[in-house]
Chains A and B, each alone.
Chain A
Amino acid sequence: MKQKHKKIDYAKWGYLFILPFFVSFFIFSLIPLIDTIRYSFFEYYRSGIKEVGPNFVGLQNYISLLGSDMLKYAGNTLILWIIGFIPQIVIALLLAQWFVDARLKIRGSQFFKVVIYLPNLIMASAFAMLFFTMFSTNGPINSILMSVGWIREPIDFLGSVLGTRSLVGLMNFLMWFGNSTIMLMAAIMGISPDVFEASELDGCNSVQRFFYITLPQIRPILAYTLINSIIGGLQMFDVPQILTNGQGTPDRTSMTLIMFLNSHLKSKNYGMAGALSVYLFIVSGILCFVVYRMTNNDDPDGSKAAAKKAKKQRRG
């Protein structure tokens, strides 16, 4: 007897459905990526309307980048990111905790959730323009401070390192804390209420509950938020670009890596810009690897590691 062993093959449909993504990824991401890497080994720029190159120069672009102020701009980027990230994560944690705490019974929490998320919807450049106008020496902030009588001379916010950096940090904080709050809220709500109840029966106060239960339980999401923010921070550009007119003033202390990249692209210096992009690519790659390891192996509920252990035990 002939038995029909014909399995219906659904896999081809799956491949067909993901094909558009791979085609567009190939055309719009992979080819440019490879081209960028290729050009990073060439001397290739435009002087006036005359094109120079492409001439192969090997690692010359990479070496001269290391000799330039690249590390200083990396430092700037890091500082600007930290100034924004620390308040962002602290406030987000606090708000998330409050919003999900059933006993606080915050009225209109839905409304507040929308409001704190709103700044994220404004275009970063529009936001920066707004701040630029508000904090200019003749701007409304200075006039308010002066009419209240707190200061006599207008403060030159954008002329000082501290002022400019704090403003960039403040803007990034305002734009992203809502986003993090929503994310952390989801994480906290994912914790089983049993644990909280048990802790309460054991006489745990809210501070202890936060540090010994909530925080360890949401660690993977926290790590994800952190890495996401670092990668976003690496690419920080729109806010300081608009705020300082692309100059990174004063004294290039608010020049980020991407602004540095942009000033190379102004002269169509594809070689140098390519090399810088490759550096950034490597750093982002390392960070991605770290987050991958964190979420997969060190998961506190022990998904992978615990599974391995369990497997071993079963065998043994």
Chain B
Amino acid sequence: MKKKIVSMLLIVVMAVNTFAGCGKPSSSGAGAASASAEEGKVINIYSWNDEFRERVEAVYPEVKETSSDGTVTTLNDGTEIHWIINPNQDGVYQQKLDEALLKQADAAADEKVDIFLSETDYVNKYTDAEANAAMPLSDLGIDPDKDLGDQYSFTKVTTSDTNGVQRGSTWQCCPGLLVYRRDIAKDVFGTDDPEEVAKKVKDWKTMKATAKELKEKGYFTFSSYADTFRLYGNSIEQSWVSPGETVIKVDQKIMDWVNDSKEWLDAGYLDKNVKGQWNDDWNKAMGSASKVFAFLFPAWGIDFTLKPNWDGGDGVWAVTNPPQEYNWGGSYIHACTGTDNPEHVKDIILSMTANKDNLLKISKEYSDFTNTQSGMQEAAADDKGYASDFLGGQNAFKYFAPVAEKIKIAPLSAYDQGCVELLQNCFSDYFQGKIDFDKAKSNFETAIIERYPDITEIQWPE
């Protein structure tokens, strides 16, 4: 059975490849081939999982084959892509990448990093103008305004340095929705219609009244206080650390999250036993035995997190508009400064992030919400083509698309990852009543200075 599936998959992939090869005029292929004369023979790509490789294999027309262990992909012109995969856990990926980047200038041509990926939480560390690890796209010959015109503008802001120079591009964008249990909605509100539920969760004030309703029937609104963090954290007015400064300014929105979370937890709207995300308790909260009404997830969250943890049948979950537009996650492709394969890199970036047909194919095959405004509008209108079995035939793109258009990304800094992580950890003790508010603040100050020794001061909002 398994063999059958694998062989079917292979046939599909092969068919898709030939198809893609035929459908596309050979201009870009020929361009890459002729340029390869003076280009290096090896393209090194740093990433933390197979996500990007799978997508390249699926849609990049130049791919010939990938070795069975998945470490080398050969292109039609003989150039090899070497995949250097290090897990994200405990910052291993960034550690390895940082080591490689420090050696980049002295490395042999075939050892140089050509492409690396980053996530929203730390993209700014690499797009920083002074660090100059990621090349400006314009240096590759990509005109962001023209070539990437169909992308969502917030993804361009995210990958730009403080001078507004875009230094990366992405195929996916991660607008988030509210994913809720239909059976609980029916039990409490008498209806599971997404439009009706949307009215119940349209803003935080209404949401609170709804939470009370859910509580009376014995349900939790969300599982953990960390679930709502992105909604607040995405709407901060100023970045955690302003460019050129060494002062962390904690935004009022973050303190709102702290206060609201405490209030919600004490009121019993959140599950006390779930402490943060990505742990066993959190995963269990997505099971059928759980009393949690909703989660806040982007497209990947529904597919990679919720679906594997759900033990019931299809069609129990549904999506609707969240109380506030937000973005969670995103993988960015960067051309590494010093690459010896600029033409290939340019071709890969354009093919993966600016080609609408390729992006729609990724959306269809991997349920990613891809970075093409016109394409996503088409998907939103095409209920048949993009219906999700897991969501009971609902077309999630219909809900994602308007959220994506309204997202205003919060200003980023290179310190975001540590700030977000440590703040959640330190205030976790406060939420559980182990320590008081001021102690949590001082614990955060201690922890953040350990992580970032160059921080000199932490300013809290009044």
Residues of A participating in the B interface, judged by any CB pair closer than 8 Å: 45-52, 68-69, 133, 136-139, 154, 156, 159-161, 246-247, 249-252, 260, 263-264, 266-267, 269, 272
Question: Complex formed: what's the CA distance from A250 to B439 in Å?
Answer: 12
Among A68, A133, A137, contact of B273 (Cβ-Cβ < 8 Å): A137
Q: Kindly state the separation between the CA atoms of A93 and B195 in the bound complex, as whole angstroms.
A: 70
- The reply on B171 being an interface residue by CB < 8 A is no
A50-B131, A249-B425 as given contacts; A269 in contact with B434, CB under 8 Å? no
Question: Are A267 and B451 touching (Cβ within 8 A)?
Answer: yes
Which of B152-160, B212-220, B371-379, B442-450 lies on the face that meets chain A? B442-450
Cross-chain contact A264 with B450 (CB below 8 angstroms):
yes
Q: With a CB–CB cut-off of 8 A, which chain B residues contact A263?
A: 447, 450-451
Q: A48-B131, A49-B131, A136-B281 are in contact. Are A251 and B439 (CB under 8 A)?
A: yes
For window 406-462 of B, CB contacts with A under 8 Å fall at 414, 425, 428-429, 432, 434-435, 439, 443, 446-447, 450-454
Question: For this complex, into which size category does the number of interface residues on chain B fall?
Answer: 20 to 34
Task: Select one of B128, B131, B133, B443 contacting A252, CB under 8 A.
Answer: B443
**Is there a chain A Cβ closer than 8 Å to B364's Cβ?**
no
In the bound complex, do residue B446 and residue A272 qualify as a contact, i.e. CB atoms below 8 Å apart? no
CA A159 to CA B123, docked complex, whole Å: 33
> Could you tell me which residues of chain B, from 254 to 278, have a CB within 8 Å of some CB in chain A?
273, 275
Q: How far is the CA of A161 from the CA of B443 in the complex (A)?
A: 16
User: When chains A and B are docked, how far (Å) is the Cα of A47 from the Cα of B453?
Assistant: 8
* B273 A266 Cβ-Cβ under 8 A: no
Of chain A, the residue at the smallest CB distance from B289 is A138
Which of A51, A69, A252 has most B Cβ within 10 Å? A252
Bound-state Cα–Cα, A263 to B126, Å: 22
| Contact A269 B429, CB 8 Å, known A46-B98, A263-B447 | no
- The smallest C-beta distance from A64 to any residue of chain B, in angstroms, reads 10
Q: Is the CB of B434 within 8 A of A49?
A: no
Q: B130–A68 contact, CB under 8 A?
A: no
Q: Is the CB of B453 within 8 A of A267?
A: yes
Q: Are A154 and B273 touching (Cβ within 8 A)?
A: yes
- B98 touching A159 by the CB < 8 A rule? no
Find out whether the CB atom of A249 lies under 8 angstroms from the CB atom of B453. no
A49 with B450: CB separation less than 8 A:
no
User: B190 interface residue, CB < 8 Å from A?
Assistant: no
Does B91 interact with chain A (Cβ within 8 Å)? yes
Complex: chain B residue closest to A133, CB-CB:
B280
Question: Which of B133, B279, B434 gathers most chain A CB within 10 Å?
Answer: B434
Contact A45 B439 (CB under 8 A): no
Q: CB distance B453 to A272 under 8 Å?
A: yes
Residues of B near A267 (CB, < 8 A) are 450-453
Q: Which residues of A contact B273 (CB under 8 A)?
A: 137-138, 154, 156
Asked whether B181 is an interface residue with its Cβ less than 8 Å from the other chain, the reply is: no
CA A159 to CA B273, docked complex, whole Å: 10
Asked if A49 contacts B126 (CB within 8 A), the reply is yes
Contacts of B435 in A (CB 8 A): 250-251
Which residue of chain B is the closest to A72 with respect to CB atoms? B446
In the complex, chain B residues whose CB is within 8 Å of the CB of A138? 273, 280-281, 284
Q: Which residues of B78-109 have CB atoms within 8 Å of chain A's CB atoms?
A: 90-91, 98, 101-102
**A62 smallest CB distance to B (angstroms):** 15
Q: Which residues from B are CB-within-8-Å of A139?
A: 280
Output the least CB separation between B311 and chain A (Å): 14
A45–B98 CA distance with the chains assembled, in angstroms: 13
Residues in A whose Cβ lies below 8 Å from that of B443:
251-252
- Closest B residue by C-beta to A249: B429
- Residue pair B101, A137 in contact (C-beta under 8 Å): no
Q: How far is the CA of A225 from the CA of B240 in the complex (A)?
A: 50
Contact between A250 and B91 (Cβ–Cβ < 8 Å)?
Answer: no
CB-based contact A45/B454 at 8 Å: yes
What residues on A are CB-neighbors of B434 within 8 Å? Answer: 159-161, 250-251
Q: Are B452 and A249 in contact (CB under 8 A)?
A: no
In the bound complex, CA of A24 to CA of B432 (Å): 50
B453 touches A45 (CB 8 A): yes
Question: Bound state CA distance, A264 and B91, in angstroms?
Answer: 14
Q: For B280, list chain A residues within 8 Å (CB).
A: 133, 136, 138-139
Smallest CB separation, A95 vs chain B (Å) = 35
- What's the least CB distance linking B284 to chain A, in Å? 6
Q: Is B291 positioned at the interface, with any CB of A under 8 Å from its CB?
A: no
- In the A-B complex, list the 7 residue pairs whose CB atoms are closest, starting with the nearest: A137-B273, A48-B125, A250-B434, A48-B414, A263-B450, A47-B454, A45-B453
Which residues of the partner chain A approach B428 to less than 8 Å between Cβ atoms? 249
Contacts of A272 in B (CB 8 A): 453
Q: Is the CB of B446 within 8 A of A48?
A: no
Q: In the bound complex, what is the Cα–Cα distance between A137 and B453 (angstroms)?
A: 35
Contact flag A52-B454 (CB < 8 Å), given A133-B280, A159-B434: yes
Selected contact of B452 from candidates A47, A136, A260, CB within 8 Å: A47
Query: Which one of A51, A156, A160, A247 contacts B425 once the chains associate, using CB atoms below 8 Å?
Result: A247
CB distance from A286 to the nearest CB of B (A): 26
Residue of B nearest to A69 (CB): B446
Residues of B within 8 A of A47 (CB): 414, 452-454
- Residue numbers in A under 8 Å from B131 (CB-CB): 48-50
Residue of B with least CB distance to A272: B453
Query: Are the C-beta atoms of B91 and A49 separated by less than 8 Å?
Result: no
Q: Which residues of B contact A50 (CB under 8 A)?
A: 128, 130-131
Q: Smallest Cβ distance from B48 to chain A, in angstroms?
A: 16
What is the CB-to-nearest-CB distance from B419 to chain A, in angstroms, rounded to a whole number?
13
Q: Report how far A250 CA is from B427 CA in the complex, Å.
A: 10
| Residue contacts A-B, CB under 8 angstroms, 23 given | A46-B98, A49-B101, A49-B102, A49-B128, A50-B130, A51-B102, A68-B446, A136-B279, A137-B281, A139-B280, A156-B273, A249-B425, A249-B428, A250-B429, A251-B429, A251-B439, A252-B443, A263-B451, A264-B453, A266-B91, A267-B450, A267-B452, A272-B453
Contacts of A260 in B (CB 8 A): 450
Residues of A within 8 A of B284 (CB): 138
Picked from B130, B279, B432, B439, the residue with its CB within 8 Å of the CB of A159 is B432
Query: Which residues on A sit within 8 Å (CB–CB) of B429?
Result: 249-251
**A148 to B439 Cα, complex, angstroms:** 38
How many Å from the CB of B221 to the closest CB on chain A? Answer: 19
Min Cβ gap A259→B in Å is: 11
| Contact yes or no, B454 A49, CB < 8 A | no
Residues of B within 8 A of A156 (CB): 273, 432
